[in-house]
Structure 1
Amino acid sequence: MPPPSRAYVFGRPDEATHPDSMRATLAEFLSTFIFVFVGEGSILALDKMYPEEARYYRAMRASSLVTMALAHGLGLFAAISACINISGGHVNPAITLGALVGGRISLIRALYYWVAQLLGAIVASLLLRVVTGGMRPVGFYLASGVGELHGLLLEIILTFALVYVFYSTAVDPRRGSLGILAPLAIGLMLAANILIGGPFDGASMNPARAFGPALVGWRWRHHWIYWLGPLIGGGLAGLTYEFLMVPVEVPHHTHTPLAPEDY
């Protein structure tokens, strides 16, 4: 769970081997596995149902787009709900970066999360290839007529919105009972973003979600966009919320203040 106040630290000496770190890392691995398995699996399911249609034109159909958005949104909602009390519910290297630049997670814990998230995405993609009879994971790609710069900017904006919602509902120390709704709010934001960006660049917003299918399916064209865009957007969201929305903490004084002098 994120610390109650901002702190930029490498990590405690025992954090690398502490049981809490191991549990949190395992939780991130399993939840990322769940999310990628459901998200990428929904795309392969559409491939199985409509094998005669070109993938690009199928993605432009409203029904297919809503199906993918709903699967990703519900999958992320469930994945975050499963690990938010253990690891903070990141399930995304961009969210972890946002928490790191905001001083809400140590560098050691961030490194552990990144490794776990990438491995979870890879294992999910491998198992999808097995259970679907060898279907190659699709991953992400730019639609026809969408330039690299446009795709990069879209990923930055979409990820900024996603991480901003995460920060406000799951990290903000003033969130109170709103934290109960964090998984739902984040899942809905992801689904909404897919409805916007899906026809243009797939709307990844998550380097792990892009990396696992790209590695297993060996599809690397424009892959750098799905790393650089989300990491920039996530980092900007963390800095924006932490330094503009979270009030500066004023230290509490324990001494009795001096009485004002009479003039």
Structure 2
Amino acid sequence: MPVSRIAIGAPGEVSQTDALKAALAEFISMLIFVFAGEGSGMAFSKLTNDGSATPAGLIAAALAHAFALFVAVSVGANISGGHVNPAVTFAAFLGGNITLLRGILYWIAQLLGSVVACLLLKFATGGLNTAAFALSANVGAWNAVVFEIVMTFGLVYTVYATAVDPKRGNVGVVAPIAIGFIVGANILAGGAFDGASMNPAVSFGPAVVSWTWSNHWVYWVGPLIGAAIAALVYDVIFIGRDTHEQLPTIDY
């Protein structure tokens, strides 16, 4: 069982050079991802006079997030593993692939990266709002939680299949683009309902900068539950105790 491999980590781990470098890589990757993803929405809204909630706006958001995440995962892969998502880090922890202390360090870096990206966007655009994630009309909070669980399950399942599974073979080469594609596809599926976050840090930055916290808990509870289910299902059923190998932080 993956739970048996969960590790807290040594107290001095978070001060080690490689851990700090990995955290910095997560910060930079998250900044790149949020700046491009959130910035694309702001740009489209400006060009269409706040008409971003259109089919074209949804497609633009999906493409921007898919491309940006592909790059963000790729540039962080050899240093931190390219998590770029607290939900992915949580899943890696549950699978015994990262210690709790290193995971907390990643979370801090990811959240800070998102906040800094939104602050830079606000400054660079002359004070335009970084829109916080919100529920569409007739979509309740628990409806959105289910959306986030299912979409994040697909994302983390893809991460495990292409980047974590020791039997992945050459498919690991395409892990970043597969991860980017599933996020883009999920935005097309759920973006019109709850914004399709799948990533607590992506929701956290705009919420902090705009100071809008309505239903913000949805974008933590849903992704973390979806990530946990995907990690446990893939690890228990497809990896198993006999085939599991410890995942280095620089594995993909």
Class of the TM-score when normalised by the shorter of the 2 chains:
over 0.9
Letter in 2 for 1:122: V
For the aligned residues, what is the CA RMSD?
1.4
Provide structure 2 residue ranges, at least 5 long, that are not aligned to the other structure. Answer: 245-252
Whole-angstrom distance in 1 between the partners of 2:29 and 2:118? 14
Q: Does the 8 Å CA contact 1:40/1:139 hold for their aligned counterparts?
A: no
Pick from 198, 204, 209: which aligns with 1:211? 204
Distance 1:36 1:52 in 2: 20
Select 1:22's aligned residue among 15, 20, 23.
20
- Tell whether the 8 Å contact from 2:166 to 2:243 is kept in structure 1 after alignment: no
Provide the C-alpha distance between the structure 2 equivalents of 1:18 and 1:174, rounded to a whole number of angstroms. Answer: 30
More helix by share: 2
- Secondary structure of the 1:125 match is helix
2:91 pairs with 1:91: no
**What is the aligned-residue identity percentage?**
50
Residue 241 of structure 2 aligns with which residue?
A: 248
Give the structure 2 partner of residue 235 of structure 1: 228
* Moved beyond 6 Å, runs of 4+: none
Please, what TM-score do these two structures have when normalized by structure 1? 0.88
Quick check: which has more Rg, 1 or 2? 1
Q: Distance in 2 between matches of 1:103 and 1:182?
A: 20
Give TM-score, length-normalised by structure 2: 0.92
| Matched residue, 1:182 | 175
Give 1:20-169 correspondences, 5 Å limit: 20-51=18-49, 53=51, 58-59=52-53, 61-169=54-162
CA gap 1:127/1:157 in 2 versus in 1, 3 angstroms? same
Q: Deviations over 1:100-124 (max 9, x none)?
A: 1111111111010000000000000
Maintained 8 Å contact 1:69/1:192:
yes
In the alignment, is residue 220 of structure 1 matched against residue 213 of structure 2? yes
Structure 1, unmatched stretches of 5+, are 1-5, 252-263
CA apart distance, 1:139: 2.2
Question: How many aligned positions are there?
Answer: 241
Checking the alignment, whether the CA contact within 8 Å between 1:140 and 1:202 is kept in structure 2 is yes
Query: Residues 53-82 of structure 1, C-alpha deviation per residue, up to 9 Å, x if partnerless?
Result: 4xxxx42x2211110000000000000000
Give the CA deviation at 1:177. Answer: 1.5
Question: What code does the residue aligned with 1:9 have?
Answer: A
Partner-residue secondary structure (3-state), 1:248: helix
Deviation at residue 132 of structure 1 after TM alignment? 0.5
Residue 52 of structure 1 and its aligned partner are, at CA, apart by 5.2
